[in-house]
A and B are shown apart, each in its own frame.
Chain A
Amino acid sequence: MVNNRFPKLPYVLLLLGIVCLAAGSYLGLFVAPPEHFMGDVQRIMYVHVPTAWNAMLAMTFALVCALLYLFTSDWKWDARMEGGIEVGVLLAFLLCCQGAIWAKPTWGVWWDWDPRLTTTAVLLFAFLGILALRRFVDDPVKRAVWSSVATIIAYVDVPIVYFSVKWWNSLHQAQSSPATVSKSFHLPLRLNAFGILFVMTAFIMLRARIASLRLEQELAPPPVLDGAMGELA
């Protein structure tokens, strides 16, 4: 059951990702010019924006796995979903922290009820709830189905939360429009985006591998019933 066709691939991706992140961060921190209005504070964008893209990507990957599990009942999608959700939660948490670090010098507060920030926080708690659910369900079939269902429900909620917070907040203040990004900012942004993408993919692959090993152990037939239960695993 454990997919081990390319056992070295995650480590290659991890290395590649670290190289990209190091190069992108060097360019972003020392080479790219400081932004006109915000100065050096803006440099957090080189890691913040790629984190946001990849967090959405990881959650979307979890949704795809959830749908595929419900349609195929193939265990590998359950293991991949677990990897996707966990890495997505980690990235969403980092995103909230980076947002707060950026907001303090820029807006003067740690937290702002900006639609993107608030949606990320809601998303983080929704998916943390799914991880908690997975911990409490002992039956692997129920755990896989229920967390797939919960993932679909939570994912559908994301655009609704976004628009509701946007309407809610627009009553207080106008949305700040994202400044157009100049050419010299592109390279570090892209390098970091690919860096995080590679690291994230490696983490998801490794995490899914652990999850399927665990599943294999859970689904293994008790020694007495060996013949009768064999086809389950």
Chain B
Amino acid sequence: MTEASAPLLDVRGLRKYFPIAKGLMRRVTGHVRAVDDVSFTVNEGETLGLVGESGCGKTTVSRCILRAIDPTGGQVLYRTRDDRVVDLVPMSRQDLAPLRKEIQMIFQDPFGSLNPRMTLLDNVGEPLLVNGVRRRSERMDRVAELLRLVGLRPEFMHRFPHAFSGGQRQRIGIARALATNPRLVVADEPVSALDVSVQAQVLNLLLELQGRLGLTFLFVAHDLSVVRHISDRVAVMYVGQLVELSPTAAIFASPLHPYTAALLRAVPVPDPRVRNDDGILRGEVPSPAAVPSGCYFHPRCRFAQDRCRQEAPALREIAPGRFARCHFAGQF
């Protein structure tokens, strides 16, 4: 980790509101605040885990960073290979094109994310073609190298995706993401569709590739034990906001935000001797279209006080490197 230099990625006040249109005239009657003031940094060579339950906005954040969708506001500052810091949000498609090589994505669904009509050579080689590698023999060499890198045999390149298992397909997806020598890889739930035995293989591969290629990961997932295993730091989202951001060891040992604590307690422990129904979070996640007053978590928080109902807390640094969005963070 290079703490001293500027971070590779610096997300500041990121917002993405989706309009809710109603009636014949499709008049906009409100907004779904899918991402609402999210700020974090990712240092070069580190893995930042982004966790939260479905609908919390974690996938929207990753898509905004990739500019797969356009943010409503905020900045996504990215430090390029030649050490310039650029804001990806206002960039045009043309300006963005050279940077796309540096930021790549690994998808969740190993079945939906590969084109079933294309061989591995074409699937994995597509980003190369797009980025100007016209000669087929050159692409074949590179694809062979990539397949070897992810633990697949280069001879497989003329086969189609259906011939491969879920774990192997996820390796193919990883090979494709690495085709353009990216620096930042956004992985959205890369192991959640895989069986336990295969999940471990893919996690090991990601760690190994990170070490070998100096990759930086933004690892989006809902499985806390997986995120704990792979991340240097962990960011927790709730209803479109970051509620906590801390180094992995610290967040799992002593969470600052009551939501993080509840999330940790909700993980079913693979030990029948530890059965505990205490502190189960009641109620449900509010809709990002109709958020509660004050702190978004207060209706479910067992420590909630009057202040929490009225005043929205800001994300603030509670201890060095530890951030939480709670009026009473660290006091429980």
User: Do A and B associate with each other?
Assistant: no
Residues of A within 8 A of B (CB): none
